[in-house]
Amino acid sequence: MSIADGAIFETRPSSHRSTPSRERFERLYRTLRDRICLFEYPPGGRLSEQELAREFSTSRTPVRRVLGRLEAEGLIEARHGVGHIVTPVKIEELAQIYRLRMELAVLIGRLSPIPREEDDLERIRALIERCDRLSKKPEYKALSRLNMDFFSEITAMTGNGPLREISERLYFQTSRIWLQMMPRLNLVEEFAIFRREMADVLAAAESGDLEAVGHIRRAHISMSFARMTHYARHPPSSD
């Protein structure tokens, strides 16, 4: 994913041969996934095959396939007589997933790492500049989109397909917790913390130390989860 404000597109290599039908499927999948993860489709919301097919000017077959993939990833569930419903977000139930994400993060620089070229580094620099602009008027969804774009740059650093796919699946399962918790967090502080993470990752990537990138990511995932757990148990005072 990359760089224009509010825009998200893939940078990761594909293990499948690209065809027009597959590209359409992937675009539809990413669009629905991002809508779910940004709460444009809120938990409990219903997704209609017929309405989605009409919106995207396609048949119900590819829509059904995309919904099946989203269901396998835990973002929606099929209910008899109702259709597909966006699953609820509960931080307690996803604690184990967060811990697994921490352990997988350190493998980025160990399993088939892909050295960063200047274009790759420039995309991260552009994300940092975007963070600086957005932090002047901090907004929850803008930070979530920025986080999603940065995550894509991180996953592009490994050539290990299974690691990349598992990491993506776990990230999008937990990303909605982040957005749900943001009203309880100090948004100015979160922008500052996230900028430090990107700057640290950029410095490690510039030096060619992708193993360090993995350890940086693990530390920030751990700290992020700790902050969210704290605020979930101790909501800020309304005073």
pLDDT in tens, 186-204: 889 999 999 999 999 999 9
User: Model confidence over 117-167: pLDDT tens digits?
Assistant: 999 999 999 999 999 999 999 998 899 999 999 999 999 999 999 999 999
pTM attached to this predicted model = 0.82
In whole angstroms, what is the distance from residue 121 CA to residue 211 CA? Answer: 16
Bin 6: left if φ > 0, else alpha if -120 < ψ < 50, else beta: left
The CATH number fitting domain 91-233, selected from 1.20.120.530, 2.40.110.10, 3.40.1260.10, 3.20.20.20? 1.20.120.530
Q: Is the pLDDT of residue 220 over 70?
A: yes
The count of residues in the chain is 239
Q: What are phi and psi of 189, to 5 degrees?
A: -65, -40
The token duo for 55 is: 């919106």
Domain residue spans of the chain: 20-86, 91-233
Any idea which fold 20-86 has? Arc Repressor Mutant, subunit A (1.10.10)
Looking at residue 95, what is its pLDDT?
84
Count CB-CB contacts under 10 A for residue 157: 22
Q: What is the distance of C-alpha 164 from the center of its chain?
A: 12
Q: Which two tokens stand for residue 19?
A: 């065809």
